[in-house]
Amino acid sequence: MSVTRRLVVCCDGTWNTATDHTNVRRLYDRLATTDDQLPRYFEGLGTDGGPVRRALDGALGVGLPEAIREIYRWLAETFRPGDELVLLGFSRGAFTVRSTVGMLAACGLVAFTPDQDDAERDAVVARVFAEGYRAKQELHGLAFHPGFALDDRAPIAFLGVWDTVGALGIPRTFGLLSGLAGRDLFEFHDLELAPDVRHARQAVALDERRGPYVPSVWSTPPPDRHTTFAQVWFPGGHGDVGGGKPETGLSDGALRWMADELDATVVPRWRADRPPRPEGDPCAPLDDGVDGAWAVLSPRPRTAPHVVEGAPDVSASAVARRHCDLTPPYRPGRVLAVGESTSVAVAADEPWVETGLYLAPGRYALAVSGRWRDHGAASPGTGASPWPVLSWPAYAVGTALDGVRRLVERVTGNPRSDIVGSRRVPEAAWLELVAAVADDVVDLDGTVREGTTVPIGPTGRRELTAPRGGYLYAFANDAWTGYGSNAGAVTLEVVRVT
């Protein structure tokens, strides 16, 4: 009599291997291999092939279909009736396992015959991927595992991911290339949380700011769709939550949470010779990822929940971090009462200035005062005067690039193509103060529909309506490459009207 088993897929992040010690790998290393549990580790995209292949796989996600097919084939070769599946992933590895779950739910799991060789099995999997998953066609003439056919409920016991990154293809910062490449090669991936999944968990990074690292978050499912569901936001950037960095204080907390959630649901078998799971340190150093080239690739704060005590989708470690002795304080998130006001200094050399405010849905009156400088020339918060002598070369080039940007947007149909050197907000003047609420709408595939962005205007006074609520940021409107020549600060006054 065969033993009912648990097959555990552990899929690592972009360019990650076993030596990077991400949370996927660390959890895999703690799983026991027994008669009733079989874990399998898959390295991340961008770890195979030559330099060009690794670059394309890692930067653009080109190798994602192959990674999905590899996992699917292993499951098809290993699965026995009665087995249950657990899939774990980080970053693009999270994207990979979520896509694999979508493929399993839509197509079932094929059963190979003993006489099929490697090439024939690859061909079968390729057909299921191309016809059944990508083209949504009916599959005929294939054998499926009993209980795992097209119309069966896939036996997926647990899907656990750290910070799913949905960005595939060329980032919009590359303008024409981004628009011409399009997303049609990637948009077929099914990242919806299939009802086949009994228990679903995602740990999401609150503080990642790299533009291409947009999280693919789940919408809250109906109460009866899954046995249990939790999507929780943790302090830190992408690697602070998913691991793989030398400093593990923050990632330890996200690792322990996932292990505890596994214990509370599917009860995996752990190795007795491994150290106990770490506690984590909410006050550990945080890395938002924005350094080097990332600083000019459209960095952007994430749309994140309000970090307050009792928030159901915020980790206890994030709330605890607010009480750490940090400079600046971590996400103070002050909420103004109606009629209440406050003033915030907005530095000209900071691409994203945290105001310390969380705007509840409502109307707010904004006003700016003071002057800041670019290339030594002083300007009010309403914007630089036309062609200041010290700044005009940079502004002239940037304004010309604004025209290139508009042309690219018309040619590609991409309404927010970025051109390095052009203004971040083309409808605002150079060095005009811009207020932005982190309330973007992010589709499952990582496409961002940018939220509330309000230039202060020539009068220095403007009303802002926050439809969804979110953390308030402000900045001087400049090119991403231009902040090094800026200095000084203006004062932004915020009054809650309703």
Tokens matching residue 324? 């750490």
Q: Are 218 and 343 within 8 A, CB to CB?
A: no
Give the neighbor-by-neighbor strand order of the sheet with 84-90.
Answer: 37-42, 6-11, 84-90, 156-162, 197-205, 228-234
Q: Are 269 and 34 within 8 A, CB to CB?
A: yes
Q: Are 107 and 132 within 8 A, CB to CB?
A: yes
* Per-residue pLDDT, 414: 67
Nearest to 71 by CA among 113, 46, 47, 101: 101
Tokens matching residue 186? 């990637």
Q: Are 216 and 164 within 8 A, CB to CB?
A: yes
Nearest to 475 by CA among 374, 336, 331: 374
What is the 3-state secondary structure of the chain? CCCCCEEEEEECCCCCCHHHCEHHHHHHHHECCECCEEEEEECCCCCCCCHHHHHHHHHHCCCHHHHHHHHHHHHHHHCCCCCEEEEEEECHHHHHHHHHHHHHHHHCCECCCCCCCHHHHHHHHHHHHHHHHHCCCCCCCCCECCCCCCCCCCCEEEEEEECCECCCCCCCCECHHHHHHCCCCCCCCCCCCCCCEEEEEEEEECCCCCCCCCECCCCCCCCCCCCEEEEEEECCCHHHHHECCCCCHHHHHHHHHHHHHHHHHCCCCECCCCCCCCCCCCCCCCCCCCCHHHHHCCCCCCCCCCCCCCCCCECHHHHHHCCCCCCCCCCCCECCCCCCEEEEEEECCCCCEEEEEEECCEEEEEEEECEEEECCEEEECECCCCCCCCCHHHHHHHHHHHHHHHHHHHHHCCCCCCECCCCCCCCCCCCEEEEEECCCEECCCCCEECCCEEECCCCCEEEEEECCCEEEEEEECCCCCCHHHEEEEEEEEEEECC
* Per-residue pLDDT, 392: 62
* Per-residue pLDDT, 388: 55
> What letter represents residue 380's amino acid?
P
Query: 328: cis peptide before it, omega within 30°?
Result: yes
* Per-residue pLDDT, 169: 46
User: Sign of torsion, CA 284 290 293 297?
Assistant: positive
Strand pairing class (341-347; 486-496): antiparallel
Residue 421 burial (CB count, 10 A)? 19
Q: Which domains does the chain have, with CATH numbers?
A: 6-264 (3.40.50), 332-496 (2.60.120.430)
| Residues forming beta bridges with residue 84, ordered by sequence position | 6
Nearest to 226 by CA among 156, 150, 162: 156
* Per-residue pLDDT, 63: 87
* Per-residue pLDDT, 194: 93
Q: How many CA atoms lie within 13 A of 474 on its CB side?
A: 28
Over the chain (498 residues), the average pLDDT of each successive run of 10 is: 87 94 98 98 88 72 90 98 98 95 96 96 98 93 94 96 74 48 54 92 98 89 94 98 97 98 98 90 96 89 97 98 97 98 99 98 98 93 74 74 80 72 92 97 74 97 96 97 96 99
Q: Are 112 and 124 within 8 A, CB to CB?
A: yes
* Per-residue pLDDT, 406: 80
* Per-residue pLDDT, 214: 87
Compute the distance between CA of residue 217 and CA of residue 235 in angstroms, rounded to an integer. Answer: 16
Q: Are 425 and 398 within 8 A, CB to CB?
A: no
Q: Is 6 exposed, middle or buried (0-12, 13-18, 19+ CB in 10 A)?
A: buried
Nearest to 93 by CA among 6, 216, 3, 193: 216
